[in-house]
Chain A
Amino acid sequence: MILVLAEHDNASVKSATLHAVAAARKLGGDVHVLVAGHGASGAAAGAAKISGVAKVLHADAPHLAKPTAENLAAQVLALAGNGYTHLVAPATGSGKNVMPRVAAKLDVAQVSEITGIESPDTFVRPIYAGNAFATVQSTDRIKVLTVRTTAFDAEGEGGAAPVESIAAAPAAAGGATVTGQEITKSERPELISARIVISGGRGLGNGENFRKLLEPLADRLNAALGASRAAVDAGFVPNDYQVGQTGKIVAPDLYIAVGISGAIQHLAGMKDSKVIVAINKDAEAPIFQIADYGLVGDLFEILPALVAALPAR
């Protein structure tokens, strides 16, 4: 049996969960999805519809509304002894925060950001910013895995799994408490699941140009906005825009890199995109080596022309 820790916002499951379930189904065995939240029956119902899910376990408690790693780990650990061979979470900010805590408590290794499953105990994962791929075999009795969402196609709907209410594990004694959240509100698609991503780099010069030039294009294409680490470092946009080894990993149908030179650590986050467009004034920029369509020129002229060439939605 495999337990997948759902990523959700209580109202619904996030797309990352669909990718994690897809990976879990390749492991062999019944797939159970844990929805730990508060007032999360919407998310539990959503999880039940994911195809291939045998059962949804729904734990509800106020301390699980915006859970800390301590409380979420306690909830997973309360179930871990029930015969699960694999504990799986998407390699999102939340999954990466919680799962190593679970693994250490169980005295087992975690295999991070798997991109392939060769057998129930053998996994492929990127190392060195994706410049190498390691195949590793786990000798532990329980395998704790985080899944790189872009490596597994999202599982679709069509399931009708039963939802079982389970007792919430007590809040962890001495754990941290969440006292505030500042979530960027956006009408745009989520960066990690968008079909089209437009990312800006240092070539845009400043945050104002970033918005002024990239937002109209994102509007035309219904695209998510991302950024290179250099643009984040320079303060153009917040950190959650960052695409790269130390930011988000994306693999959209179309990735448009604007004013991005293509440092190794940026390429690590986007080189699995299906089609890559690069716009840069430096014809020697490394980004052109991986781009399907490179356009050398002044982005301040190209972007308005590109917007004008696309129909308004």
Chain B
Amino acid sequence: MKVLVPVKRVVDFNVKVRVKPDGSGVDTANVKMSMNPFDEIAVEEAVRLREKGIATEVVVVSCGATAVQETLRTALAIGADRAILVQSDAELQPLAVAKLLAAVVAKESPQLCILGKQAIDDDASQVGQMLAALLDWPQATYASKVEIAGGKATVAREVDGGLETVEMALPAVVTTDLRLNEPRYATLPNIMKAKKKPLETLDAASLGVDVAPRLKTLKVVEPPKRKGGGRVADVAELVAKLRNEAKVI
């Protein structure tokens, strides 16, 4: 069974982003970039499936400019077998990415696609569900446990208020939640090995899909500042303030 894992290069989760003064977007020049954390969990899960003998090959794919190669190499260092770069310098919105991935699925015929549940830059949480829709495959989003047996996936999903278990026939789409696994650190020897693993480049235009943006960003602004920093000395003062000043208890 082949597993396809789409990954995204995003501003590192530790970076506090700055809005550009002209309001056109967020400043991503000269900031640290990393693999989206939920995508790391997806790569880890796929590699574990191969280590258990359930998956035979783990292919990672990323859509974007040449720089996303770096993220693909990180995925290869975690243990993916080969990588595909779908190269495009255009702005790619979730629907466009899902269409590009569907075209890659048509070429690669994986039995399972594992994606992060959401990218921490646009916080859209759409691509996995959209990919499943375009392929007409079943989906199990927000997975905290994945079991594959007999051509089926059994997935525990994080839902509001608890967990839900779904069963679906393969091929299928899974998106990862936090508790699915803890991704390993790539070791130096594996980082070296990753440099020699195959990385194929596809021109996005050659896949024949419409990637035109559907949403036009008119402006990007800073959030309203919250005035905080107030202090109380002890429990008695806290209770008095909550009761008499804030009037919330």
- Which A residues contact B (CB, under 8 angstroms)? 66, 68-70, 73, 92-94, 96-105, 107-113, 122, 126-140, 174-184, 190, 192, 196, 221, 229, 232-233, 238-240, 242, 245-246, 248, 253-254, 264-265, 271, 274-277, 288-296, 302, 305-306, 309-310
B186 at the interface (CB under 8 A from A): no
User: When the two chains form their complex, are residues B168 and A177 in contact, meaning their CB atoms are under 8 A apart?
Assistant: yes
Structural contact, A309 and B239, CB atoms closer than 8 A: yes
Contact A174 B138 (CB under 8 A): yes
Task: Please list 19 pairs of residues, one from A and one from B, whose beta carbons are closer than 8 Å in the complex, sorted by A's number.
Answer: A100-B125, A104-B95, A107-B95, A112-B123, A127-B220, A133-B220, A135-B221, A174-B137, A182-B163, A184-B161, A196-B249, A233-B178, A239-B179, A240-B161, A253-B248, A265-B13, A277-B238, A295-B238, A302-B235
Task: Determine the distance from Cα of A306 to Cα of B38 in the docked complex, in whole angstroms.
Answer: 38
Report A128 CB to chain B, min CB distance, Å.
5
Which residue of the partner chain, among A190, A265, A294, contacts B232 with CB atoms under 8 Å? A294
Inter-chain CA distance A295–B98, complex, in Å, is: 47
Contact A132 B179 (CB under 8 A): no
CA A128 to CA B19, docked complex, whole Å: 10
Residue of A whose beta carbon sits closest to that of B140: A176
Return A310 CB to nearest CB of chain B, in Å: 7
Residue in B closest to A98 when the chains form the complex, CB atoms:
B129
Q: Is B141 an interface residue (CB 8 A)?
A: yes
The closest CB in chain B to the CB of A138 belongs to B215
CA separation between A301 and B54, bound complex, in Å? 51
State the Cβ distance, B192 to closest chain A Cβ, in Å: 30
CA separation between A26 and B93, bound complex, in Å? 26
State the CA gap A238–B164 with chains docked (Å): 13
| Smallest CB separation, B161 vs chain A (Å) | 5
Contact B222 A132 (CB under 8 A): yes
Q: Which residue of B lies closest to A16 (CB)?
A: B160
Q: What residues of B have a CB within 8 angstroms of the CB of A246 in the complex?
A: 38, 117-118, 120, 177-178
Q: Is the CB of B165 within 8 A of A254?
A: no
Q: How far is the CA of A246 from the CA of B158 in the complex (A)?
A: 12
Q: Which residues on the B side are within 8 Å of A131 (C-beta)?
A: 16-17, 222-223
| Complex contacts, B128 vs chain A, CB 8 Å | 100
Query: By the criterion CB–CB under 8 Å, are B216 and A136 in contact?
Result: yes
Please determine whether B129 and A139 come into contact, CB atoms closer than 8 angstroms: no
- In the complex, residue of chain A having the shortest beta-carbon distance to the beta carbon of B166: A176
Partner of B229, one of A73, A107, A177, A291: A291
From A139, A276, A296, contact of B214 by CB (8 A): A139
Tell me whether B228 and A221 are in contact (CB under 8 A).
no
Interface residues of B in 129-174 (CB under 8 A from A): 129-134, 136-142, 144, 154-155, 158-169, 172
A291 to B167, CA, bound (A): 44
**Among residues 109 to 130 in chain B, which have CB atoms less than 8 Å away from a CB atom of chain A?**
117-118, 120-130
Interface residue B100 (Cβ < 8 Å from any Cβ of A)? no
With a cutoff of 8 Å between Cβ atoms, the chain A residues found around residue B107 in the complex are none
The contact of A290 among B137, B154, B226, by CB within 8 Å, is B226
Closest residue on chain B to residue A220 by CB atoms: B249
What is the CB-to-nearest-CB distance from A251 to chain B, in angstroms, rounded to a whole number?
12
User: Residues of A contacting B216 with CB < 8 Å?
Assistant: 136-137, 139
Determine whether B89 belongs to the interface, using a CB cutoff of 8 Å to chain A.
no
List the A side residues contacting B179 at CB < 8 Å.
232, 239
Query: Does B242 touch A at the CB level, under 8 Å?
Result: yes
The answer to whether the Cβ of B22 comes within 8 Å of any Cβ in the partner chain is no
Which 8 pairs across A and B sit closest by C-beta, in order of nearness?
Answer: A100-B129, A176-B168, A109-B214, A104-B130, A104-B133, A180-B165, A100-B126, A290-B228
- Known interface pairs A97-B129, A177-B166; A288-B178 also in contact (CB < 8 Å): no
Further 4 A-B residue pairs, CB within 8 A, beyond A101-B132, A126-B123, A192-B160: A97-B129, A97-B141, A232-B178, A302-B235
